[in-house]
Structure 1
């Protein structure tokens, strides 16, 4: 009882004391603790390092600011500048703001090795929860696994490797099968798949869907072309340029890992004087905003990234505010084929639904 009384009367750490210890202003300390973007990276690191050295991150500072810190959500993402992620961010941000939460972004490259500072820098903020977007879970899912072991709520976009969590998912296999079957239904049999990053679980799932469509429609897998194209427009351009140079082996249709890769194929086709869709049909994947602005507008599988962001944020808020044990929740996004003008029919087309 005496210990409890002493703890209740002990004076809490103030921002002024932290500012004095760190050699910065009180407003700077407040901005760092609240994840405000108007703080120079060097200053932010200085304050966080000061907090760590003084053991404030796990002690007095966490208790002193628990009200504000509990409204912080950390979002781990790879390729943060991609249109797909930007659309997801809009959905996440709007939903979290509506529930009174603030967002702290952390960029994580999926090809990086395990970096202890990736999560250590976030721990000082004491996030109420984490959102881990595809490709940002760390090597073998190490970052996501550590967060879950800490007992902090986490929602993943996509299936994690090496651990389980609440998640929002797309059936990538079925969605890519839908894409390939659409092209096949237009009469194409000389197909190429422009594959995503070699380390990507998502790409492996999409390749399976592509292959499944070939098999079900009696197209030998050995006759299809598989080319590594990464996930950027530049990588898609290079892969398509190399693939399309030879008119003898040139496919009539490209099924792309994502819309950015498809964008790169447009430039390659232009340089080779190939008309889309007259000489070459192209299908994307993801459903990012600009795809309909390409000339011609890109046919793609829309995974509803903005909706996915909203769903991810809503699920995390639900988990945080539940305050009790919960069974793992997985919610599914249903992709939609957006038929535009980048695919032409080759005589004789046939109906894939008859298979």
Structure 2
């Protein structure tokens, strides 16, 4: 029952939401000018733009995105497919893409897959196609992801984040893992190390293989024959076990003077094993990682590592998505990384 004190009748129509014409009237401009301001058109005077934006704020105007999509055939939304994983690289990539999308007013819808199987990935792509997204970003960590997505770009604009380049119609964006690894190993070589061991990541991962190649080529170019890399995964537990194994054999095989690990978690486990055994890092062994995970400056000792430019990765991904939507020729883009030197690396003991 309606409150008699309000003077409102039960079932009375709700007030009409403000329209673009209301904004134009309040700002004293044309409907077309309001449209130009909403679409960030450059040919609008600053004073006019400010007047229109003030009217939008005062009225609480919100653009009808559904109507806009009918006209432009663009929803302003993209899908993102990533794997159901807590690993640092895929997580930071997702955050970078979301931040870049938000900065340009693009909405992101995220779907995770447990395994990169063709059927499940393509079902997710079909779901996004049904939603009418403008395109899909696939955060592709390893080979199965590339195979699952490779033939789908004719139906929907696709950008893959991870591979350096993929044949066909898929735009790609990736951190230059090879160059980053070269920076890490070059740092150790410049310090005077000639025995740089590599603890590698899983061989099915694109990043792991690129980082291994960067290590190997840097060592070979220095005229050094690289030792056989040690197989790890991405976990601190694996790094700890590898450290224990190296320590257990040191009566027969001396410890290397330096270790480059495929990621910071492996380095963390290695540092733990060395600390337990009383091995001084970096006086006896230098350790360098990759990723610059949150807290790596508080490892013991603070970790020298490689920091990818995550913000640039997100921006370049959205640039490639715009190109894919416009059906421009596919292109592969590499994003840089920089070395962060801390106290886990030093010149080898004389």
Q: TM-score, normalised by structure 1?
A: 0.69
- The one of 98, 102, 106 aligned to 2:107: 102
Q: For 1:269 and 1:189, locate their aligned partners in 2 and report how far apart those are by CA, in whole Å.
A: 20
**Contact in 2 for aligned 1:69/1:125 (Cα 8 Å):** no
- The answer for the alignment partner of 2:243 in structure 1 is 240
Q: For 1:260 and 1:313, locate their aligned partners in 2 and report how far apart those are by CA, in whole Å.
A: 29
Query: Which structure: larger Rg?
Result: 2
- The answer for the alignment partner of 2:234 in structure 1 is 231
How many residues matched? 279
- The one of 260, 282, 293 aligned to 1:288: 293
**Contact in 2 for aligned 1:257/1:285 (Cα 8 Å):** yes
**Contact in 1 for aligned 2:284/2:348 (Cα 8 Å):** no
Deviations 1:234-285 (A, max 9, x none): 3322233323332232212110111222222222222323222223211111
Instruction: Name the SS of the counterpart of 1:285 in structure 2.
Output: coil
- The answer for the alignment partner of 1:339 in structure 2 is 341
Q: For 1:140 and 1:89, locate their aligned partners in 2 and report how far apart those are by CA, in whole Å.
A: 15
Shift, 1:316, TM fit: 1.8
Unaligned runs of 5+ in 2: 1-65
Q: For 1:149 and 1:238, locate their aligned partners in 2 and report how far apart those are by CA, in whole Å.
A: 46
**Contact in 1 for aligned 2:164/2:334 (Cα 8 Å):** no
Unaligned runs of 5+ in 1: 1-62, 349-355
From the superposition, tell whether residues 147 and 194 of structure 1 become closer, same or farther in structure 2 (CA, over 3 Å): same
- The answer for the alignment partner of 1:54 in structure 2 is none
Q: For 1:163 and 1:306, locate their aligned partners in 2 and report how far apart those are by CA, in whole Å.
A: 27
Q: CA RMSD in A?
A: 2.9
Shift, 1:150, TM fit: 1.1
- The answer for the alignment partner of 1:210 in structure 2 is 215
Shift, 1:156, TM fit: 2.9
Q: For 2:249 and 2:133, locate their aligned partners in 1 and report how far apart those are by CA, in whole Å.
A: 54
Q: For 1:330 and 1:232, locate their aligned partners in 2 and report how far apart those are by CA, in whole Å.
A: 30
- The one of 112, 129, 132 aligned to 2:135: 129
Q: Does 1:115 align with 2:122?
A: no
